[in-house]
Chains A and B, each alone.
Chain A
Amino acid sequence: MNSTPAILVSSIGKHFGNVRAVDRLSFDVQAGEIFGLVGPDGAGKTTTMRMLAGVLTPDSGSATVAGHDIRLDPEGAKQDLSYMPQRFGLYEDLTVDENIRFYADLFGVKRKEREQRSAELLAAAGFAEFRSRLAGNLSGGMKQKLGLVCALIHTPRVILLDEPTNGVDPVSRRDFWQILYSLLAQGVAILTSTSYLDEAERCHRVGLLYQGRMLFCDRPEALKKKFPGGVIVVHSSDPERVHGELHGANGTRDVLLVGDRVHIFVDDAAKRLPELQARLDTAKVPYDSIEQVTASIEDLFVSAVEREAARQSPAKLS
């Protein structure tokens, strides 16, 4: 794409005392693209969002939002973006409808557009029956949904969402993703952070942040291919025994109990699968199937973060 990206971040940095919250971070988000930032607590996701939203000033580097330099023209940038922080400022003593109206006024949304848009958003959020309920009387998940509705009541060029779906149920979450995708089709750029990797899968590109730096940045399918080694999954009526038997086997890095399955992370799946299978057979551990599967983004994420942590303090691991 040869047009200017909707968000362009160049070597941006931010310190808090001795802590380097964001460390020479660079990435871009194109119009019509949804970009997911994932990372452990303290990785710099929220700090990055706040800088782009004009709430924090970077110490170094530069960034533009919808063409506005966030240091030189923060007000211009704010006109073109919508930012939903983790705790969105709802008025608890106002009703659902009143909160929406308040934000529509704040963003200068025209009356006609407002009615159509809020009807659409409320239906997607499953709020139709709760329009006159006080925001303070909504459950956590419902409050989160109302925050999203308020943040999306206008159509800016850039949307920043900080862990937008915490506590929101899968049906509503899917509906919200449909709304986000329809905004993308209108050329809006979306930057979202999430700690759930099934959400990351829905982004066009994903950046893994750790200690303020980008460890990986790519399309979800490409990221999965970067997982070092392979993943073998065993289905069993007695996953605990499988776990006990395979723990510490040759070439295994980690053995994880996941419900009625056991995930085994190995250096070489093709080589280790028959070895592990033989081990289960010899020990007469019951299992329904043993097979190689594609690594998930979460698998890559956890292995990358653990490797980074080990690199920085090798003593701690031993």
Chain B
Amino acid sequence: MNQSVPSVVVKNLTKRFGTFVAVNDVSFETRHGEIFGFLGPNGSGKSTTIRILCGLLRPSSGQASVAGIDVARNPEAVRQRIGYMSQKFSLYNDLRVVENLEFFAGMYSVPKKEIPGRIAWALKMAGLEGRERNPTSSLAVGWKQRLALGCAVLHRPPIVFLDEPTSGVDPVSRRQFWDLIHSMVGEGVTVFVTTHYMDEAEYCNRLVLLDRGSIVAMGTPTELKNERMKGQLLMIECEPLGPALELLQAVPEVVDAAVFGSGIHAVVADAVVAAPKIRELLSAKQLHVSRIEQIAPSLEDVFVSLTATRGASTKSEAAA
């Protein structure tokens, strides 16, 4: 594998379904040994992009290549070089653990001689040694997830697509899963992840945020949090919350306000200017403010600030 060549290259990629533009002039590159996160609301074009990269859909215009192969010209060759794991794990529940591995080894045309070694590797990786003969249906979700990953990478693909891989998986299993991913990445594999959960997005080296088919932000999790948040974030703790929220939503300086646990997160242009104003306003209405301070935005705050502004206009149209 040539490490200097990007593992995935997407250039001005566009996909239309009739008049609907699902993917609109998207460009990015991924490196070998990188975890690349794909974020966006439902319907933002994530799945369509991934289907194109897997050779399952043809682009309307633009180019995409995976492991150096043009996906539109040679989709079959692309499919031999990728692994794909979806949230549904696509395992055969009525087969035993080892039978699932044998099935996928056959499907991905792993050379006969290599099969026993690859299956042993996958069992070890997934921590399923000693459970080879267990029915797959009897495994807990965390085990199933690791088995599904093992099946998806039996043929040593240089690029692995994970579609919401840990949906419904508990935090302990999730950490074990990410340890596995990191060890694969250490060997130069590129991992593509789609997720709706920001604690999962934090595991990515770089993130792309899609909205309505277009890229709205790209960078490391830290860059997105430090540079891409529109405005600054205030944490306000006060009693009672309901009336405080209503008041805050009417303040011109407040771009957005939402309840978060026992407090309110308010987005403002300038925290230093807005904080005393807000404190004064709430106190004047006899609301007791116990804390108001600027906090660092989470990835979710950034995500919402970059996508919801466009959504908000349609929402008010819908309400009207």
In this complex, how many residues of chain B approach chain A with their Cβ under 8 Å: the count is 55
Q: Judge whether B203 is part of the interface by a CB distance below 8 angstroms.
A: yes
Q: Cβ of A123 and Cβ of B315 under 8 Å apart? A: yes
Q: Which residues of A contact B179 (CB under 8 A)?
A: 256-257
- Residues 201-256 (chain B) with a chain A CB within 8 angstroms: 201-205, 220-222, 241-242
Q: Which residues of A contact B47 (CB under 8 A)?
A: 139
Q: Cβ of B42 and Cβ of A123 under 8 Å apart? A: no
Q: Once bound together, how far apart are the Cα atoms of A197 and B202, in whole Å? A: 13
Q: Quick check: which of A12-20, A147-155, A172-180 contacts chain B, the rest being far away? A: A172-180
Q: Once bound together, how far apart are the Cα atoms of A26 and B241, in whole Å? A: 28
Q: Which residues of B contact A260 (CB under 8 A)?
A: 205, 220-222
Q: Once bound together, how far apart are the Cα atoms of A197 and B298, in whole Å? A: 13
Q: Judge whether A203 is part of the interface by a CB distance below 8 angstroms.
A: yes
Q: Judge whether A181 is part of the interface by a CB distance below 8 angstroms.
A: yes
Q: Which residues of B contact A256 (CB under 8 A)?
A: 175, 179
Q: Once bound together, how far apart are the Cα atoms of A198 and B198, in whole Å? A: 8
Q: Cβ of A40 and Cβ of B311 under 8 Å apart? A: no
Q: Quick check: which of B71-79, B259-267, B268-276, B278-286 contacts chain A, the rest being far away? A: B259-267
Q: Judge whether B117 is part of the interface by a CB distance below 8 angstroms.
A: no
- What is the distance, in angstroms, from A306's C-beta to the closest C-beta of chain B? 7
- Name A258's contact: one of B44, B198, B203, B261 (CB within 8 Å): B203
Q: Which residues of A contact B83 (CB under 8 A)?
A: none
Q: Which residues of A contact B42 (CB under 8 A)?
A: 126, 139, 141-142, 145, 168-169, 172
- What is the distance, in angstroms, from B207's C-beta to the closest C-beta of chain A? 8
Contacts A141-B42, A169-B40, A170-B198 hold; do A259 and B175 have CB atoms under 8 A apart?
no
- What is the distance, in angstroms, from A285's C-beta to the closest C-beta of chain B? 16
Q: Once bound together, how far apart are the Cα atoms of A197 and B315, in whole Å? A: 28
Contacts A195-B171, A196-B197, A259-B221 hold; do A171 and B41 have CB atoms under 8 A apart?
yes
Q: Which residues of A contact B140 (CB under 8 A)?
A: 41-42
Q: Cβ of A259 and Cβ of B199 under 8 Å apart? A: no
Q: Cβ of B197 and Cβ of A259 under 8 Å apart? A: no
Q: Judge whether A58 is part of the interface by a CB distance below 8 angstroms.
A: no
Q: Once bound together, how far apart are the Cα atoms of A39 and B141, in whole Å? A: 13
- What is the distance, in angstroms, from B134's C-beta to the closest C-beta of chain A? 16
Q: Which residues of A contact B172 (CB under 8 A)?
A: 40, 301-302, 305-306
Q: Quick check: which of B9-17, B50-58, B61-69, B162-170 contacts chain A, the rest being far away? A: B162-170
Q: Cβ of A220 and Cβ of B261 under 8 Å apart? A: yes
Contacts A41-B173, A169-B41, A202-B260 hold; do A235 and B222 have CB atoms under 8 A apart?
yes
Q: Judge whether B304 is part of the interface by a CB distance below 8 angstroms.
A: yes
Q: Cβ of B186 and Cβ of A171 under 8 Å apart? A: no
Contacts A140-B87, A258-B203 hold; do A126 and B173 have CB atoms under 8 A apart?
no
Q: Which residues of A contact B202 (CB under 8 A)?
A: 258-259, 261
Q: Which residues of A contact B161 (CB under 8 A)?
A: none
Q: Once bound together, how far apart are the Cα atoms of A181 and B168, in whole Å? A: 23
- Name B171's contact: one of A40, A123, A220 (CB within 8 Å): A40
Q: Once bound together, how far apart are the Cα atoms of A116 and B232, in whole Å? A: 34
Q: Judge whether A117 is part of the interface by a CB distance below 8 angstroms.
A: no
Please report A residues at the B interface, Cβ cutoff 8 Å.
38-43, 86, 119, 122-123, 126, 128, 139-142, 145, 163, 166-174, 177-178, 181-182, 185, 195-198, 201-204, 219-220, 235, 240, 256-261, 298, 301-302, 305-306
A-B contact pairs, 20 of them (CB 8 A): A40-B172, A41-B142, A41-B169, A42-B140, A126-B42, A139-B47, A169-B42, A170-B196, A170-B303, A174-B304, A185-B241, A195-B171, A196-B199, A201-B261, A219-B262, A257-B178, A258-B203, A259-B201, A301-B172, A305-B171
Please report B residues at the A interface, Cβ cutoff 8 Å.
35, 40-44, 47, 87, 140-142, 164, 167-175, 178-179, 182, 186, 196-199, 201-205, 220-222, 241-242, 258-262, 298, 300, 303-304, 307-308, 311, 314-315, 318-319
Kindly list 12 other residue pairs between chains A and B, CB separation below 8 angstroms, not including A168-B42, A201-B261. Answer: A142-B42, A142-B43, A169-B196, A170-B198, A181-B241, A195-B169, A202-B260, A256-B179, A259-B35, A259-B201, A259-B204, A298-B199
